[in-house]
Amino acid sequence: MRLADLAARLDARLDGDGDRRILRVAPLDTAGSDALAGLFERRFREAAGRTEAAAVVVDEALAEALPPGCARLVHPEPRAAWGNALRLLHPRPPLTPPPPGIDPRAVVHPTAQVAPDARVGPFAVVDAEARVGPGAAIFAFVHVGPGAVVGPDAVLATRASVLDGCAIGAGSWIGPGAVIGSVGFGIDRAGRLPHVGRVRVGAGVTIGAQSCVDRATVGETVIGDGAHLDNLVQVGHNAHIGPRAVLCGQVGIAGGARIGAGVVIGGQAGVAGHVTVGPGVRLAAQSGVTKSLRAPGDYSGHPAEPNRARLRRLARERRGEHE
Amino acid sequence: MRLADLAARLDARLDGDGDRRILRVAPLDTAGSDALAGLFERRFREAAGRTEAAAVVVDEALAEALPPGCARLVHPEPRAAWGNALRLLHPRPPLTPPPPGIDPRAVVHPTAQVAPDARVGPFAVVDAEARVGPGAAIFAFVHVGPGAVVGPDAVLATRASVLDGCAIGAGSWIGPGAVIGSVGFGIDRAGRLPHVGRVRVGAGVTIGAQSCVDRATVGETVIGDGAHLDNLVQVGHNAHIGPRAVLCGQVGIAGGARIGAGVVIGGQAGVAGHVTVGPGVRLAAQSGVTKSLRAPGDYSGHPAEPNRARLRRLARERRGEHE
Amino acid sequence: MRLADLAARLDARLDGDGDRRILRVAPLDTAGSDALAGLFERRFREAAGRTEAAAVVVDEALAEALPPGCARLVHPEPRAAWGNALRLLHPRPPLTPPPPGIDPRAVVHPTAQVAPDARVGPFAVVDAEARVGPGAAIFAFVHVGPGAVVGPDAVLATRASVLDGCAIGAGSWIGPGAVIGSVGFGIDRAGRLPHVGRVRVGAGVTIGAQSCVDRATVGETVIGDGAHLDNLVQVGHNAHIGPRAVLCGQVGIAGGARIGAGVVIGGQAGVAGHVTVGPGVRLAAQSGVTKSLRAPGDYSGHPAEPNRARLRRLARERRGEHE
């Protein structure tokens, strides 16, 4: 793509030769003369000064750090512009889907419905009464259980499982090895309960590698539209994750918890069963929520408390050691 | 099932029309006229007042919260009665097993022994000298390693792995993607040790999705009868988990630790290598055990200490902020 | 193996009958007359006094705890000698690889290159342009993505995935279900970024069951030579794990973090995005690193601080309860 065209698509101001050809996005320190890089933080100024990238996405303040021969794509929000450049220059998905059609080594039950343009890879299993929508991609080793529904353009990466009766919304991405719809951890004296509910994943969701979302005991476990879950995340039975919530790696949400729209939860944090985390809450990594948090704001610690209060106390305690 | 028959099976007192037909268990807020629901906590009284369920399992104290047309199954332990109703009304397992017999797309080694009524799904691998007992179910993508033993009526869900020489007891359930018998994390200067021991899982155990139980360096890693492990749990080499212990999601038990009978460990908690957690201990979520805990009781924090002491100190510290 | 030969190979002093035949290594309490055991800690003296092992690896100080009929292999570093005995007496890998050659039920793309003596098991998928080196073992259900490279003698255990363009170094071991090269968790307002980089795993690395190493957004995520990762570990996009680092179970390393050579990180600990943990740091289990740690030493807590300072404060706080 010509640099001038790229600048126009990104709504960025171009300082430099618009005829250069950009083939890829690359890191500042390894980018070559066909590559675009990004500079977003002051601490990378020195590396930026040595870059051999053809062009760099940058804001006004940091633009002067770049070497003279390097073109600038100046944008007030350089990180967002850089993300869009990544999407424009690398339109193919990073994990290659199987070709359209059903691989002859897949097992598709006669009562399953697979859209003609869907992709089903080798050693995939699509069980009775399951439905796979148009444009969907079912990678190798994926298991679509009986009665499960995979929406249009959804992607189930290598050996993801979407088990009995669960539903995945349009355009959602289920990462390698993720398990949607295993049996929840509701137990009583007689053992594990049957868990006859299901999981409903909304549209535009991404769920990372090896994450688990358990089916409801009765009713539904819900992942709202546009939510993003990282790898190795655990969502218990009957939990509700709000739209556009962000759950970082190894987060655990216990059964029946309700996470509000747009909540952000840092890595390895946990939320206890049946509590509510309201919209606008941001939870630090490794924090633990044991009671409902309804006021928006930043929280941390175990049990989680407003961030500011906790950090003030930690500072005071640590000063105390030297007194 | 007729409501009167259900009441008799649950040993509950019926207030209402015994001729109603109950087909399923459902949540209070979505249950229809063919469904049974449960009411166990005061905070759901309001929802209960609007339920359209045919009948609700409830204790005496909360029965008055239900609308007039709704039948009651009154029981002193409504949660237990409701669990039993779930088992009676939904006898089929939530994850559909493959049909009896060996799927033609499975690979079963000629020296493996598979009981005639066992179920082996497509793309399952049963290696040399392995044994699969009567009534056992081996789902798609399951790997039963060389010499491994799957007991009668045990279930290995989608792509579970039971590796070389490991044993699963009667009626146990190994969840989707769980790995039983990987190589432990005993390392020395020359690298990872060979780990020539095995894993022995008792009877009536359930192990959640994606959990890992490593084989012993020498000897056995043991999961006792009736223990329940949630998803993404890690059990290190040579650990012993006592009978009926309960390990919630993302718990980690390091190598050589011994967890007593009936111990309950909350989500994301960890137990260090070679320590002992005695019977009757209950560990809060996210706590960390670094030294043996022998006295029964509730513990929390990192390092874990008696719950009461920790909460008292936390309260005092947080008061301190406002002084 | 004759005990005298074993002693010579281990460079240990033999006290006892050198003509005994040793067939295996076993635990002190179950070892029989064909087995070697090890005694490394005083607390196992009593068990050692009752052992029926043919011989025990031990140092001078503990040798007297053994019963008279039991031969001793006396070594100043008995644990290391015992590890070497394990390697000598159990040369076969604990997880049996498929036989050499390509199983007829594997799918190997015509453009993939698989060395003639490599092993590819049933239901493995080796995609276009992938390369599998001499002596490598690809177990059942493994997915080697397009353009991925598996080095000589590397092992990909049952259903490990090495996805598009990622590389595994010589002799490395990727455990059951591990996912190398999933899409990272870089997100912006438009959703998850494409992540067009890759993962490069060095030589002599071991990565435990179900662990995840995400591909870089651009550039590389790196696991250095000789690093060891336990089970259920998460390594985010663009992280660098130094040579010989040790990451215990359920550790989480966020995107862009840099972990120095030989760093040891205890179970369930976490490192935030873009911070640096310098060589010589040892992080306690469950600790959380939010700022760079450059000085070598032992750290713990959240946020992580020098171990000694933290333990002193905890002791003071807990004393405070009884004042």
Topology given in CATH for the domain delimited by C3-89: 3.40.1390
Average pLDDT on B227-241 reads 98
Q: Give residue-wise pLDDT tens across range A178-216.
A: 999 999 999 999 999 999 999 999 999 999 999 999 999
Contact C237, C220 (CB under 8 A): no
All partners of chain B with 3 or more CB pairs under 8 angstroms: A, C
Q: How far apart are CA A237 and CA A250, in angstroms?
A: 17
Task: Select which of A143, A195, A237, A240 is catalytic.
Answer: A237
Q: Give the sign of the dihedral formed by CA B116, CA B117, CA B118, CA B123.
A: positive
Query: Within an 8 Å CB–CB cutoff, is residue B140 touching chain C?
Result: no
Q: Name residues whose C-beta falls within 8 Å of residue A91's C-beta, 6 or more positions apart in sequence.
A: none
Least confident residue range of A127-131, B140-144, B304-308, C288-292: B304-308
Q: Is the pLDDT of residue A321 over 60?
A: no
Chain B: give the shortest CA distance to residue C116, in Å: 23
Question: Average per-residue pLDDT in chain B?
Answer: 95
Q: Is the pLDDT of residue B100 over 90?
A: yes
Query: Within an 8 Å CB–CB cutoff, is residue B188 touching chain C?
Result: yes
Contact C195, C184 (CB under 8 A): yes
Contact C200, C167 (CB under 8 A): yes
Residues listed for chain A = 323
- What values do phi and psi take at B56, rounded to 5? -135, 135
> Which residues of chain B make contact with C268, given a CB cutoff of 8 A?
252, 268, 270, 288
| pLDDT for C310 | 82
How far CA A120 is from CA of B199, C144, C314, in Å, comes to 36, 17, 56
Say whether C101-308 and C3-89 share the same fold: no
> Which residues of chain B make contact with A190, given a CB cutoff of 8 A?
80, 83-84, 87
Q: Is the pTM of this model over 0.90?
A: yes
Contact A82, A19 (CB under 8 A): no
Give residue A33's pLDDT band: very low, low, confident or very high (50, 70, 90).
very high
Query: Within an 8 Å CB–CB cutoff, is residue C167 touching chain A?
Result: no
Question: Which of A119, A145, A248 has its CA nearest to residue A198?
Answer: A145
Average pLDDT on A226-255 reads 98
Helix (H) or strand (E) holding B228: strand B228-229
**Catalytic amino acids of B?**
237
Q: How far apart are CA C85 and CA C87, in angstroms?
A: 5
Strands A187-188 vs A191-192: parallel, antiparallel or unpaired: antiparallel
Segment 219-248 of chain C within 8 Å of chain A by CB: 219, 232, 234, 236
Of B46 and A140, more confident: A140
Strands B35-38 vs B24-25: parallel, antiparallel or unpaired: parallel
Residue of C103, C107, C125 to mutate for A, most A C-beta atoms under 10 A: C125
Residue of C51, C89, C95 to mutate for B, most B C-beta atoms under 10 A: C95
Give residue B320's pLDDT band: very low, low, confident or very high (50, 70, 90).
low
Average pLDDT on B130-152 reads 98
Per DSSP, the three-state class of B111 is: coil
Q: Is the pLDDT of residue C111 over 80?
A: yes
> Which residues of chain A make contact with C303, given a CB cutoff of 8 A?
314
> Which residues of chain A make contact with C123, given a CB cutoff of 8 A?
123, 141
Of A293 and A318, more confident: A293
DSSP string, A132-199: E-TT-EE-TT-EE-TT-EE-TT-EE-TT-EE-TT-EE-TT-EE-TT-EEEE----EETTEE-----EE
Structure token digits, residue B322: 């406002």
| pLDDT for B308 | 86
* Percentage of residues in chain A having pLDDT higher than 90: 92
* In chain A, where the domains are located: 3-89, 101-308
Task: Quickly count: other Cβ atoms within 10 Å of residue C29's Cβ.
Answer: 14
Strands B297-300 vs B305-306: parallel, antiparallel or unpaired: antiparallel
Of C25, C250, C321, the CB nearest to B234: C250
Query: Within an 8 Å CB–CB cutoff, is residue A212 touching chain B?
Result: yes
Contact B183, B164 (CB under 8 A): no
Q: How far apart are CA C263 and CA A17, in angstroms?
A: 46
- What values do phi and psi take at A272, rounded to 5? -70, 165
**Exposed e or buried b per residue across B113-147, where buried means at least 16 C-beta atoms within 10 angstroms of its C-beta:** ebeeebbbbbbbbbbebbbbbebbbbbbbbbbbbb
Question: Average per-residue pLDDT in chain A?
Answer: 95
DSSP-assigned letter for residue C217: S
Of C191, C214, C232, the CB nearest to A204: C191
| pLDDT for C61 | 94
Give residue B322's pLDDT band: very low, low, confident or very high (50, 70, 90).
very low
Structure token digits, residue A308: 């500011």
Q: Give residue-wise pLDDT tens across range C143-186.
A: 999 999 999 999 999 999 999 999 999 999 999 999 999 999 99
Average pLDDT on A134-148 reads 98
Q: DSSP alpha helices (H): ranges in chain C?
A: 3-10, 45-49, 60-63, 78-89, 307-320
Topology given in CATH for the domain delimited by C101-308: UDP N-Acetylglucosamine Acyltransferase; domain 1 (2.160.10)
| pLDDT for A213 | 98
Least confident residue range of A51-65, A76-90, B300-314: B300-314
Residue of A198, A212, A308 to mutate for B, most B C-beta atoms under 10 A: A212
Q: How far apart are CA A144 and CA A148, in angstroms?
A: 6
| pLDDT for B323 | 38
Kindly report whether the peptide bond that precedes residue C303 is cis, defined as omega within 30 degrees of 0: yes
Average pLDDT on A122-144 reads 98
Q: Name residues whose C-beta falls within 8 Å of residue B67's C-beta, 6 or more positions apart in sequence.
A: B49, B50, B51
The complex's ipTM?
A: 0.95
Give residue C261's pLDDT band: very low, low, confident or very high (50, 70, 90).
very high
Query: Within an 8 Å CB–CB cutoff, is residue B49 touching chain A?
Result: no
Q: Give residue-wise pLDDT tens across range C308-319.
A: 888 887 787 777
Q: Is the pLDDT of residue A317 over 90?
A: no
| pLDDT for B187 | 94
From the number of C-beta atoms within 10 Å of its C-beta (0-12, 13-18, 19+), residue C10 rates as buried
Cβ–Cβ of C190/A26 closer than 8 Å? no
| pLDDT for B311 | 81
| pLDDT for C99 | 97
Structure token digits, residue C299: 């750290």
The CA angle B83-B87-B91, to the nearest 5 degrees, is: 165
> Which residues of chain A make contact with C222, given a CB cutoff of 8 A?
none
Segment 254-293 of chain C within 8 Å of chain B by CB: 267-268, 285-286
Beta-bridge partners for A214: A182
Q: Name residues whose C-beta falls within 8 Å of residue B107's C-beta, 6 or more positions apart in sequence.
A: B124, B125, B126, C105, C122, C123, C140
Contact A125, A103 (CB under 8 A): no
Question: Which of C305, C296, B314 has its CA nearest to residue A318?
Answer: C305
- What values do phi and psi take at C316, rounded to 5? -65, -45
| pLDDT for C320 | 61
Per DSSP, the three-state class of B56 is: strand
Query: Within an 8 Å CB–CB cutoff, is residue B145 touching chain C?
Result: yes
Q: How far apart are CA B22 and CA B9, in angstroms?
A: 13
Least confident residue range of B294-308, C95-109, C225-239: B294-308
Kindly report whether the peptide bond that precedes residue A303 is cis, defined as omega within 30 degrees of 0: yes
Question: Which of C191, B230, C310 has its CA nearest to residue C302?
Answer: C310
> Which residues of chain A make contact with B176, given a CB cutoff of 8 A?
161, 163, 179, 182
Count how many Cα atoms sit within 13 Å of the Cα of residue C119 in the half-sphere of its side chain.
18
Beta-bridge partners for A13: A74
Query: Within an 8 Å CB–CB cutoff, is residue A161 touching chain C?
Result: no
